[in-house]
Each structure stands twice: as C-alpha cells, then as structure tokens.
Structure 1
C-alpha cells in the first residue's frame, strides 16, 4: 500500500530508475501484444507514477515540470512505449484538473486514474437536454486499454459558426477499433476509439479557446502552482524527458556492444578501438546533452513563471513548441548516429537499439512534435508574424 506522504523528486526518480530492468524485460511482449503489460501498469501504479499530475486534494503529488523531466528520462531508458503512455496520462490528468471541480471529484475518486485522450476535434457535438450528444472517431488513444476515461475533442455548432470543445467520457461508453499495427511505439496500444450519440452531461465539456488562454473552469486549482501554466507549456514539459531517456538508453546499449564486436572487413577486432567510434560517441552524446538543455530550460520556464505568477509572452509559448521539436530532432539524430554505427547485427528484433530507433522516429513525427512545423512557428513569431496554429 502506498504511503500518504508526498514523495520527493529524488524518491520518485529512484522509483522510476528501479523499474528500468522490468520495463526492458516486458518491452518485447508489449510490442507483440500492442499494449503495455498489466504487470508494468501495476508496478507504475505502486511507484506512484500516475499521481504525479493529480491534484493534491485527491492524493496526488502535483509534481513540477523538472520532476517530469527527471522521471521521464528514467522511464525512457526503460521502454519508449511505457514512457510515451505515462507522458500522455500525465498530460490528460493535468487537463482534467482544468475542468469544473465537481467533474474532478468523480474522475479523481481514484487518484491513480488513467485517462487517455487526443486534441484533434474529429467529432461533432449537438446540444441536448442536460448536455451534448457526441458522435465521432478519435485515433491515437495511447494507453486506452488501461484507461478509465477518455478526453475527447469535438466541434460544437454555434450561432457564430463552430466552437472546438474538450470533453470527458468514460472509456466503457466508447467502441475500440483494434487498428494499432505500426512500426514504432507499438507497445503504447494507441488504438482508435469511436462513439455514436454519446451523452456528455453539462460541465463535462469546456471550450478549447478558453483553455488556450488559461481561462480554466476549476476554482479549487486556481491557486495551485501546477496550474499556473499554459497548456502548451504543460504538454511540452511532460513530453521531453522520454526522448532524452531513449537517447541515453541507445548510448548505453552502444557502449555495451563496442568492446565485444569487431568492425567487419577492417583490422579492428574491437569497435571501441576505432577513432571513428570515438567521434560517433562524442557527437551523439553532445546532441543528447544539447537536447537535455532545451528540456530543462523549458521546465525551468514552466516552474519559474508558475511560481512567480507571471504571464507567458507569445514568444515563450512558441519556444515551448520549438523546444519539444528541437529535443526530438537532436535525440533522433543521436540515435540514428549510434544505430547506423551498430552494424548489421543490430537490426535483429531482439536488439534494443532498433526498437529505440523506431520509437523515437514515431515520437518525432507526432503532429505536436514535428521539428519542421515547430521551427516554422517559432520563426514566424520571431519575425513578428501571427502564429499559424491554435496550439501555442
């Protein structure tokens, strides 16, 4: 049974680090099953990982962004799919903390609750007595098999046109489409969910434009430091750690192999003796270090401005996006460099480096992470132009 005391950052990091061997042990099974192992989810629950972005009044820890980075790194070292699902659950738990307090009372009755969700408004909502009726299909629901609730987005017609909304429904009220047959992040189980004429009561949906302007519906969380951040900052802080962890795991795996294998068709009996290996290790390490710099700079911005109660400028919001894109770009480059230097034997399915390479590629092409899109956004803002996205 978990202690009621809130663990320190160091304690949470140590718990996550202690899970790394288990996460690696179950990673191949998760890929095969296209979902996380129940044993892994149980271990994460016992470690308190799912409480990190839950409000304190429900038994949560209300962890800061720096702690998300540290724990995310350790989970990423263990398994990219686990780290991805956990980050998604952190983001959705934080989002539910923006809903009216009476909604939170229901959802967080279990402080270890897991909530899957997506931001793309691929559904329609129609007003009805006491709420809305929603019909639609949502792809990429990471961790759906182990989630009790689903955060959805939809378009609600209004007199002025249309309003994008974010809402909550119990996962049991939706249909599962078992379509998660992909090249990377297979263990996340990011299946499609669909619903027809699903009733969403009043209060369980909120306008997305208000959220993006930090006009949150919760009164009891208004003074919480964890919620004095824009959505873009909270999402970015939850995202970055796993990428660094994956790159660190790739480096650990590479260094483990190079003292045991030759470079075929050369006189090098040990790869570790070749100068090219030294160059590759140095460059990959620096790329990962540079990625960590951006992750920690973003976390410091989120925590610092929240602690001081300061508003975010448009440039800072755009930096939150570009920082994630830069972390993706640099860690992907580091992993590609190491994977390319690992020899033909590294492509076997039981080799860690090939899974890391596929997972980090899948993370990098996520719509909110794509380096080219985020660089363009940051450049537009630096040039004094308006953003070309709502998510900033």
Structure 2
C-alpha cells in the first residue's frame, strides 16, 4: 500500500480561532460567489477537517463523531455554508467501503481529501468489461468547487442487493454547471455535475453505507446516521449565532421610537429564554446519543437498531428545533429584521435548509418511532 506523508502543520485552539476570524471576514465573499474558495478549503485541510474520517492506516486522524460534530457546529456559528462544506470532512467514511488497494491510491498524495457528491438523480450507467460507462447530470454537489474527488450516483445490481452505487471521478473528468441560485446556504456551491461517457473502473465504485473494508472504530459507527448528524449540527450552529446576536442586540440601545430597549421587554426576555432552553435541550439529546453509540462501538459492540434510531431522531429533531429557534428570534426582534442587510435574514434563510434535506425530513420521525416500537423502519436507507 502507498505510504503517506503528513504535511499538515501543527494546529491547536489558536489556529482554529484564527480560522474562524478569517471566515467572519470572508463569508460575504463566499456568499456572493456561491461557493467557498479553494484557498479556504486548504485552510480547513490544514486544521485536519478533511482527514477526520480518513483511515489511520492511510495517515488519517479519524475523530470520534461528537468531536468532529462540535467542530462543524462552531464553524457553522460563523457561516452555515462553510460549516455545511466542512461537514463533508466526515464523508470519507463512505469511501471506507472501497477496496483497500483503491483507498491506498486515493490517499497516495496524503490523507487530506475533500470529497463531494452529486448522487441524485441516479443515472443509468452501461456496464463494461472494467466497470461502468458513466454519463449524465446530477444535482446538489455541495462543495464540488474545492473537491479532490467527486461522486455520482449510478444504479446498483444483483451484487449490491439493488442499492445504488457511487462512482468516483477526478475533477478533470467532470463538468461543474453553476446553477445554484438560492437564498439559504448560498455559499455551499451545490452545483450540478455533468459527466460525458467516462468509464469508471468497478473498484472505484461503492455502495453508500456499504460494509467497510477498513477495520477501525469510526467505520463501525452507523454511516448514514453520521451523514444526517453532520448536516443537522450545521443548523445548531446557525441557531446559536441567531441567539447570540439577539442577546447582544437586546442589551443595546432603545428603538427608534424611543421605546424601551428589547432586553427591558418581558416578551423578548421570555422568547430568548424559551429559545435557549429548546436549543440546549435538543443539543444535549443529540450529543448524548452520539457519545453513547460511539462508546458501544469502541467496546466492540455494533450499534444497535435502537441506537441508530436515536441518532436519526436526535438529528432530525435538532434540525427542526434549530429552525424554530431562529424563527422565534426573528419574530421578537422588531421591524429591523425586514431589511435584507439584517444579519437575521441571512441566518433565517440558512436555518431552513437542513430540515429540508431528505436525511432530516418529517419521514425520519415516523421511521424512528417505528424502530423504537420494534417495527421495521418505514423509509429505505434508515440504517
């Protein structure tokens, strides 16, 4: 297997804080261009974000899920879009299902690999002697502008039990179509990917959530649940930013009409307190089950169906509660919020996005409830 060289500079709390400071200065730049610049992706690589799910056997520094989630949350409190992109530092858990020889080649230049995927709609791929002839267009490839490797969804077959495959391609094999025109999470660069009849070897395809070929603890943690968690925690960071803004502004000057400042109004104090309690409660449940499940994995026990259900439920709950928290802050914040330049406008738009994701939508509550009552999950890909 290929030997990897650790080129990452020594990092620590100061480096992370410096990155957040730079992010605060550049988030408008990223929003205006609709993607996070490649040099900032490199900045995140230097902090280990994109080796946090690279196998240790290939030079990675795999983090316990809760530790990685906390990093994504802190980034998202400064800019949700950048937090969304950073969250895909966890996506290499999917690639652990590739043959070991393929992974060795993937990490031959180092463990800091940024992966982005446009997995839907699944596009037909003609089988070849070596693999698959990939052709088509895929949507929602968040972070594709700074990616080192890209994935697109193709059908499965008898060998995958019908589950779709993801085919991996290098950036020079893919055309990025910049059609991302949205209000929320604008800087995620969730553009379309277009591939024109490129043959992808079979060993460069995998089943998302498929059995890993790497025997390390992180790859025994439920992969699809982790994918839901990293997106959900972005909304928690956005909600935290909204609350912090509201607390700071509320203690400030009186309104333009001469009315008492917001902090002197009972409805404002009550609203902030309710939102604070709701967010902290949802976070506590979210991190509790993340810690509990990883401890089970570390002890050698596979994650149970109930643990997976709690991971999925707590993630969907956090996304829903976070959006409600931002909405409540907006509701009590007065007329100034109607201006496009108001910080809460940006945060409100970003907060709505995670709960719309298929991994976090209303169906997840039904599926989790079914499993908790010893019934089969009601949605595919729940575990």
Please give the TM-score of this superposition, normalised by the length of structure 2: 0.90
Measure the CA separation in 2 of the matches of 1:6 and 1:140.
Answer: 34
For the residue of structure 2 that corresponds to 1:203, the secondary structure is helix
Contact 1:240 1:295 in 2 (8 A): no
Report what 2:380 is aligned to. 390
For the residue of structure 1 that corresponds to 2:152, the secondary structure is strand
- Aligned counterpart for 2:219 among listed residues 221, 227, 231: 227
* 1:283-298 correspondence runs (5 A): 283-298=274-289
Measure the CA separation in 2 of the matches of 1:3 and 1:170.
Answer: 22
Deviation of 1:197 (Å): 2.0
Measure the CA separation in 2 of the matches of 1:206 and 1:258.
Answer: 51
Report what 1:107 is aligned to. 106
Measure the CA separation in 1 of the matches of 2:229 and 2:354.
Answer: 15
Report what 1:151 is aligned to. 151
For the residue of structure 1 that corresponds to 2:132, the secondary structure is strand
* 1:210-289 correspondence runs (5 A): 211-212=209-210, 215-216=211-212, 218=213, 221-222=214-215, 224-263=216-255, 267-268=259-260, 270-289=261-280
For the residue of structure 1 that corresponds to 2:182, the secondary structure is coil
Measure the CA separation in 2 of the matches of 1:53 and 1:162.
Answer: 27
For the residue of structure 2 that corresponds to 1:330, the secondary structure is helix
Structure 1 unaligned blocks of 5 or more: none
Residue 331 in structure 1 maps to residue 322 in structure 2: yes
* 1:82-97 correspondence runs (5 A): 82-88=82-88, 90-97=89-96
Residue 56 in structure 1 maps to residue 47 in structure 2: no
Report what 1:310 is aligned to. 301
* 1:161-200 correspondence runs (5 A): 162-200=162-200
Deviation of 1:336 (Å): 0.8
* 1:4-23 correspondence runs (5 A): 11=12, 15-23=15-23
Contact 1:121 1:155 in 2 (8 A): no
Contact 2:50 2:90 in 1 (8 A): no
Structure 2 unaligned blocks of 5 or more: none
1:226-264 residue CA offsets vs partner (Å, 9 max, x unmatched): 111221232234334322221111111112212234356
Residue 40 in structure 1 maps to residue 43 in structure 2: no
For the residue of structure 2 that corresponds to 1:251, the secondary structure is helix
1:346-390 residue CA offsets vs partner (Å, 9 max, x unmatched): 3333332211111110111111111x2111111222343322322
1:340/1:22 Cα in 2 relative to 1: closer, same or farther (>3 Å)? farther
For the residue of structure 2 that corresponds to 1:272, the secondary structure is helix
Measure the CA separation in 2 of the matches of 1:33 and 1:328.
Answer: 26
1:15/1:98 Cα in 2 relative to 1: closer, same or farther (>3 Å)? farther
Measure the CA separation in 1 of the matches of 2:207 and 2:49.
Answer: 29
Deviation of 1:106 (Å): 2.0
Measure the CA separation in 2 of the matches of 1:64 and 1:182.
Answer: 33
1:346/1:178 Cα in 2 relative to 1: closer, same or farther (>3 Å)? same
For the residue of structure 1 that corresponds to 2:125, the secondary structure is strand
For the residue of structure 2 that corresponds to 1:206, the secondary structure is strand
Measure the CA separation in 2 of the matches of 1:114 and 1:102.
Answer: 19
Measure the CA separation in 2 of the matches of 1:200 and 1:52.
Answer: 26
1:339/1:120 Cα in 2 relative to 1: closer, same or farther (>3 Å)? same
State the superposition RMSD in angstroms. Answer: 2.5
Contact 2:297 2:303 in 1 (8 A): no
Report what 1:98 is aligned to. 97
Measure the CA separation in 2 of the matches of 1:63 and 1:389.
Answer: 29
Measure the CA separation in 1 of the matches of 2:29 and 2:336.
Answer: 21
